[in-house]
Chains A and B, each alone.
Chain A
Amino acid sequence: DVKVTQSSRYLVKRTGEKVFLECVQDMDHENMFWYRQDPGLGLRLIYFSYDVKMKEKGDIPEGYSVSREKKERFSLILESASTNQTSMYLCASSTPTLAKNIQYFGAGTRLSVL
């Protein structure tokens, strides 16, 4: 089974703090993704990565950056957290060799910025 692990289920941070959200997958997938999920807005893609040290902006990259130093790990960084970044953050991974690049998700990190 594909396993995508997000390091924290819940995080509470202060405005202006630098926040790191970590994601690890154990299936040697090439592709990794970060989404945020908000009521009524569905899943919105923040950043994705096709390979180590490679990143592409998604639909809402502003206020975020990412790091992929190793194939299995994809980090989302909030350089200076703001209250409008309070959300559920979801990491996913996929591989083109499996079922049309279908994405497998982690359990999510619920971030509250106070």
Chain B
Amino acid sequence: QQQVKQSPQSLIVQKGGISIINCAYENTAFDYFPWYQQFPGKGPALLIAIRPDVSEKKEGRFTISFNKSAKQFSLHIMDSQPGDSATYFCAAIYSGAGSYQLTFGKGTKLSVIP
């Protein structure tokens, strides 16, 4: 059962454009939603994360938008640059007393072309 569905699988964006990656989750117990960025040959690195009581979080050119009622969240990369070319994973975490679950989306390969 795939609890976090990520789309698109791949994305090509022109330099300077906006990259948008979407994720949808099923388990309403999830209470933290990070995004990871992975360059080829490297491990995933935490990029930005959001709590479900916040509708938007911005860090530089990266913004998470969160829609709790729709159980969806998305990553927006403004003014996309070739250096942003990487695979992006969304994730959902449940971390309660004596219980922990982290579920990843399957990833989006972003290519930013000059």
Contacts and interface: CB of A to CB of B under 8 A. Distances in A.
Interface class of chain A by DSSP: mixed
B43 A96 contact: no
A31 interface: yes
B43 A100 contact: no
A101 B93 contact: yes
B104 A104 contact: no
Interface class of chain B by DSSP: strand
Contacts of A106: 43
Contacts of A42: 89, 104-107
Interface residues of B, number: 21
Interface string B95-108: 10000101011110
B105 A108 contact: no
Contacts of B100: 31, 50, 96, 101
Contacts of B43: 4, 6, 90, 92, 105-108
A43 interface: yes
Contacts of B44: 43, 90, 105
A103 B36 CA distance: 10
Interface of B: 31-32, 34, 36, 41-46, 49, 51, 89, 93, 95, 100, 102, 104-107
21 contacts: A6-B43, A42-B106, A43-B44, A43-B104, A92-B43, A96-B95, A99-B49, A100-B51, A100-B93, A101-B32, A101-B93, A101-B95, A102-B34, A103-B102, A104-B46, A105-B44, A106-B43, A107-B43, A108-B41, A108-B43, A110-B41
